[in-house]
Chain A
Amino acid sequence: MSSASDFLREYLTVLILGGVGAALVGLLLGASHLLRPARRQPGKSLTYESGVDPVGTGWTQSQIRYYVFALLFVMFDVEAVFIFPWATRLEAYGGFGLVEMGIFVFILLLGLVYAWRKGVLKWV
Chain B
Amino acid sequence: MIASLFAAQACAPSECFAVPANIAFGICALLMIGAAIKVVTETNIVHAALYLVVVLAGVGVNYLILQAEFLAVTQFLVYIGAIIVLFLFGIMLTRAPMGRSDDLDNAKLRPAGIGAAVMLLVVLGGALLSSFGETHLVFSTANSTTALSDAVFNQYLIPFEVVSVMLLAALIGAIVLARRD
Contact = CB atoms under 8 A, between A and B. Distances in A.
Contact of B18 (A8, A80, A103, A108): A8
Given A60-B98, A61-B98, A108-B167, A85 B175 contact: no
Interface string A109-121: 0110011001010
A96 B44 CA distance: 51
A62 interface: yes
A77 B160 contact: no
Interface residues of A, number: 49
Interface stretch (B33-41, B79-87, B107-115, B121-129): B79-87
Nearest to A120: B175
Contact of A104 (B21, B73, B82, B160): B160
Interface string B44-79: 101000000000000000001101001001100110
Nearest to B99: A59
Contacts of A4: 13-18, 21, 67, 139
Q: Which 5 A-B pairs have the closest CB atoms?
A: A59-B99, A85-B149, A111-B171, A3-B14, A107-B164
Interface of A: 1-5, 7-8, 11, 57-62, 64, 67-68, 70-75, 77-82, 84-86, 88-89, 93, 96-97, 100, 103-105, 107-108, 110-111, 114-115, 118, 120
16 contacts: A3-B13, A3-B14, A5-B20, A8-B65, A71-B171, A71-B175, A71-B178, A75-B174, A77-B82, A79-B164, A79-B167, A82-B160, A88-B149, A104-B160, A107-B165, A107-B167
Interface of B: 13-18, 20-21, 24, 44, 46, 64-65, 67, 70, 73-74, 77-78, 81-83, 85-86, 89, 92-93, 95, 98-100, 139, 141-143, 145-146, 148-150, 152-153, 157, 160-161, 163-165, 167-168, 170-172, 174-175, 178-179
